Structure formats: structure tokens, C-alpha cells
Amino acid sequence: MSKAVFLDRDGTLIRHVPYLHHVEDVQLLPGVGPALRLLKTAGYYLIVITNQAGVAYGYFTEEDLQRVNSHLHRMLQEEGCRIDAWYYCPHHPAGALSKYRLACDCRKPGGGLLTLAAQAHRLDLAASFTIGDRWSDVQAGKTGGGTGILVLTGEGRKDFRTAPGKGLVFTHLLSAARWIVSKGGSCFAHCL
């Protein structure tokens, strides 16, 4: 079985834009390319897992979401990075569209997306990491049996202030990637 790093999209890989659905608004965060190349070189599968409640609210369609993800995929390829798989949850229990209005296990902090990916790619969740800018990302990683990491980009600083001490915290994706590869190297924020 292989190990993976599950990556949140908005606020972790790209600048956080509420309900992002225009490709021209996609902007990589600093250090993302080097971080992903480092993780890939270390043998990790790279899998994006993202909540996209904007679909359930009717703010954008799944086709809009696919366009943004495809654009981001091309941007990452230009950085020399390869994402192995993309998973998203379009649901929300308060969604405006009945088709997507439900509470599900695939919505983080649930571990459903990790479980789907683990089955499809024969991944060892206990040896894997989940990185995101929300505590729900960290919890999804823990629910899957692996390690969750909060980064202070996107909504991370706000989430960290509301509940410090909940887990591993790094300033950005590159510092988290360096720690993962070294399994305990320099932590630029708080290793709790």
C-alpha cells in the first residue's frame, strides 16, 4: 500500500476566494510548486480533497468547478507538479438545490473522500497526511486514521486563533511538506 498527502484546495494550494468559480481568480499560493515537487519526490500520492458547497447553494455548477480544477491542474503542471487524483464534495445540509442538500460523509470533516481515494489507489491512510487551512481538514485526516496538519494560509490563521492546540500547525504548505519529508524537521509555527 502507498502513502498519500491529501490536500485541501482553497486557502492551501490557491488563494482563498469565497465560492471560487472563475478561472481568472485562481492564484497559486507561494511555495506550492516546490512543496508538491518535494512530496512527490518523497514518494507520496498527491490527492486534492475539497468541500464545494457553492454547488449545493447554486452559486456555481459542477461544470464550473471542473473548469476551475482543470485550470489549476494545468497551472500545477507548468510548475512541474502532478496531482494524482481530485475529489470534491458538492453537498451541504443547508443547500438550496435539493439534489445536493444532504449531510454526507464525504464533506469534511468526514473522512469519506479519503476512504474513496484509499480504495481507488490502494493507500495506507495511517501512513498518510491531510493538509488544509481549516480544522475540518485536520479532522478529516484524523478521521481517516492519519495525521492532519493545519496551515496558516487562507482561513488558517483565523481557525488557529479560535482553537489553538488542536494539532500540528505550519505557516504554509512548503514548511509542512519539509516536515513530512523529514518526519519531524523544522516546524515554523507550532508542533503541538
Mean of all residue pLDDT scores within the chain? 93
Architecture category of domain 4-191 in CATH: 3-Layer(aba) Sandwich (3.40)
pLDDT of residue 122 exceeding 70, the answer is yes
149, amino acid identity: I
What residue segments make up the domains of the chain, in order of their start?
A: 4-191
Beta strand 129-132 with 147-151 is parallel
Q: Where are the alpha helices (DSSP H) in the chain?
A: 32-41, 53-57, 62-78, 112-121, 135-143, 156-162, 173-182
pLDDT of residue 188 exceeding 60, the answer is no
Cα–Cα dist 172/154, whole Å: 9
Tell me whether residue 10 is exposed, middle or buried, using C-beta atoms within 10 angstroms of its C-beta: 0 to 12, 13 to 18, 19 or more.
buried
Active site members: 8, 10
pLDDT tens digits, residue range 17-73? 999 999 999 999 999 999 999 999 999 999 999 999 999 999 999 999 999 999 999
88, 50 contact by CB (below 8 A): yes
For residue 86, the model assigns a pLDDT of: 98
pLDDT tens digits, residue range 81-96? 999 999 999 999 999 9
For residue 191, the model assigns a pLDDT of: 40
- How far from chain centre, in Å, is Cα 129? 10
Q: 108-139: buried (b, 16+ CB within 10 Å) or exposed (e) per residue?
A: bbbbbbbbbbbeeeebebeebbbbbbbbbbbb
